[in-house]
A and B are shown apart, each in its own frame.
Chain A
Amino acid sequence: MKDTLNPSPVIQARDLQLVFSTNDGPVQALKDVNLTINKGEFVSFIGPSGCGKTTFLRAIAALETPTGGSLTVNGMTPDEARRKRAYGYVFQAAGLYPWRTIAGNVRLPLEIMGFSKAEQNERVSRVLELVELSGFGKKFPWQLSGGMQQRASIARALAFDADILLMDEPFGALDEIVRDRLNEEVLKLWARTGKTIGFVTHSIPEAVYLSTKIVVMSPRPGRITDIIDSPLPRERPLDIRDSKEFIEVSHRVREGLRAGHSDV
């Protein structure tokens, strides 16, 4: 937000609660979550498993329903926002349909949303180029590596130009080398499109490298323990990870995670 004089909130959570009822009784997945995400921010959610980071992302996407407090997306309820197709969602696995080509997979949301044939083709080639998969449109998913499949799934989420991009540990299953490259690409993509991004991860370097804001969460009950506004510039070469600021932020995230663990 340092670069925006007049920040406009895109996602706002106030005293958000989410309780799952399970066979073993109620589980408090989110407790008293307060957070504002402004337009154009890159926000990472980091924490151990069970801290509610994925649940929070799914609540924003109206895939889970909060049991208390308020949550707005673009000033609407998450469900209204979903109906207005306010966000693209990238899941942990690429989840491409095996019977569709890469282009066919990217075209899927466009078909459902009723774009014209010409516009579908134009958009498919544009987003495939954006994730550097031009020329792979006619391949089937199994012909691509895991990293390329995940890039295709990002293209699919970008295809209909939602302002918000929600990513749930998109690179969790990939090796570190591929991950580094995809992280760089995501940053480039973010710079080119100016989207608001919510990004769930459990990797500290990934969170610090990507984000303008890092939300540290801890489990039982799932809650926010620290919110860090990153002092790093928007322009981030990979070697920024050796800078003093980067190490300081990483340290603070690690402290936050540790604090969340000790007071359970």
Chain B
Amino acid sequence: MKSIVPILSVLLTIIAVWYAAAVWMNAPWVYDQAARAEQTVPRPWQVAQATMNQDRPVLPTPHQVISELLRSTFGLPVSSKKSLVYHAWVTISGTLLGFVMGTTLGVLLAVGIVYSRSMEMSVLPWAIASQMVPIIALAPMLAVVMHAVGATPLMTKAVISAYLSFFPVVVGMVKGLRSPEVMQLDLLQTYAAPGGAVFWKLRLPSSMPYFFASVKVGIAASLVGAIVAELNQQAGLGARLLQGSYYGQTTQIWAALFLSAILAAVLVMLAGRIERRVLARMGMAR
């Protein structure tokens, strides 16, 4: 329980800084309004009060963001186009589909790279190069291509998610599949073990800790990919972010951002929980 003090102090500091910044950034509008109405210059405490609940603040205050988050999550029917639950579901479905595709591709590529020298030399440079391209630049072009071949928005999103999430899985799994020691490989050779046995009984189990480390990075990357893909779509947290910025709805943007962060945290935590369970069953957690 000792850790509660530092956790709370950091949280309180962030909130304090946020409120201070909101006052500072939203104040010009208050002065502006007063000048237009040809009123006397408001006193500082009046200005501060007037920055707390503006309709279109430059920086919405924490309580505005939280209440918008709660309102659009719980206050609206799930089927409403304004419900964050609806948008979050659209994003999550794309994220998970893309994550499964990316992880599968990543594992398959890693197996190929570990077992074939020529595949290592021909595929790995492309995998690395693929991550050099900024996804924000690539996503619209991919969307056009996917649309041309008749893919649904979900599929487009999943492809972009997969594009971001396969890479950490490739890197982690290559390392993991190569992690058995020489002695462990020699042991199987003394049994004249066929290649399949070496893979299933040694390489794959050895790679599990590496796999889960990659999965945690990959699932967060998938979420980023889905949100970026939605900047070109009608629904999802990404679309919601973009609509918010079109109409100057800063509170809506921040609420969507918060929900994205919460989603990412939940997904990574879920992956961590599965990791602990699997490794415990394998006797690798102590």
Chain A bound to chain B: yes
Closest to A108 in B: B201
Closest to A113 in B: B191
The answer to whether A91 touches B193 (Cβ under 8 A) is no
Chain A residues within 8 Å of B282, by CB: 98-99
Max count, chain B CB within 10 A of own CB: residue among A93, A98, A111, A112: A112
Q: How far is the CA of A99 from the CA of B281 in the complex (A)?
A: 8
Q: How far is the CA of A160 from the CA of B193 in the complex (A)?
A: 13
The answer to whether A95 touches B193 (Cβ under 8 A) is no
With an 8 Å Cβ cutoff, the count of chain B residues facing the other chain is 21
Q: How far is the CA of A160 from the CA of B192 in the complex (A)?
A: 13
Chain B residues within 8 Å of A225, by CB: none
Any chain B CB within 8 A of the CB of A188? no
Cβ contact of B189, chosen from A82, A98, A101, A142, cutoff 8 A: A82
Any chain A CB within 8 A of the CB of B205? yes
Question: What does the 1/0 interface line of B170-193 toward A look like (CB < 8 Å)?
Answer: 000000000001011011111111
Q: How far is the CA of A62 from the CA of B208 in the complex (A)?
A: 30
Among A84-121, those with CB < 8 Å from B are 85, 87-89, 91-93, 95, 97-101, 108-109, 111-113
The answer to whether B190 touches A88 (Cβ under 8 A) is yes
Cβ contact of B187, chosen from A91, A98, A160, cutoff 8 A: A91
Q: How far is the CA of A209 from the CA of B192 in the complex (A)?
A: 32
Majority secondary structure, B binding face: helix
Majority secondary structure, A binding face: loop
Cβ contact of A93, chosen from B183, B190, B208, cutoff 8 A: B183
The answer to whether A95 touches B187 (Cβ under 8 A) is yes
Cβ contact of B284, chosen from A88, A99, A109, cutoff 8 A: A99
Any chain A CB within 8 A of the CB of B144? no
Any chain B CB within 8 A of the CB of A178? no
Known: A88-B190, A93-B183, A112-B194. 12 other contacts (CB 8 A): A85-B192, A92-B183, A95-B181, A97-B201, A98-B282, A98-B283, A108-B191, A111-B201, A112-B191, A112-B201, A113-B191, A141-B283
B residues apposed to A, CB below 8 Å: 181, 183-184, 186-194, 197, 201-202, 205, 208, 282-284, 286
Cβ contacts A to B, 25 pairs, < 8 Å: A82-B190, A82-B192, A85-B191, A89-B186, A89-B190, A91-B186, A91-B187, A92-B183, A95-B184, A97-B201, A97-B205, A98-B282, A98-B283, A99-B282, A99-B283, A99-B284, A108-B201, A109-B191, A111-B197, A112-B188, A112-B191, A112-B194, A112-B197, A142-B286, A160-B191
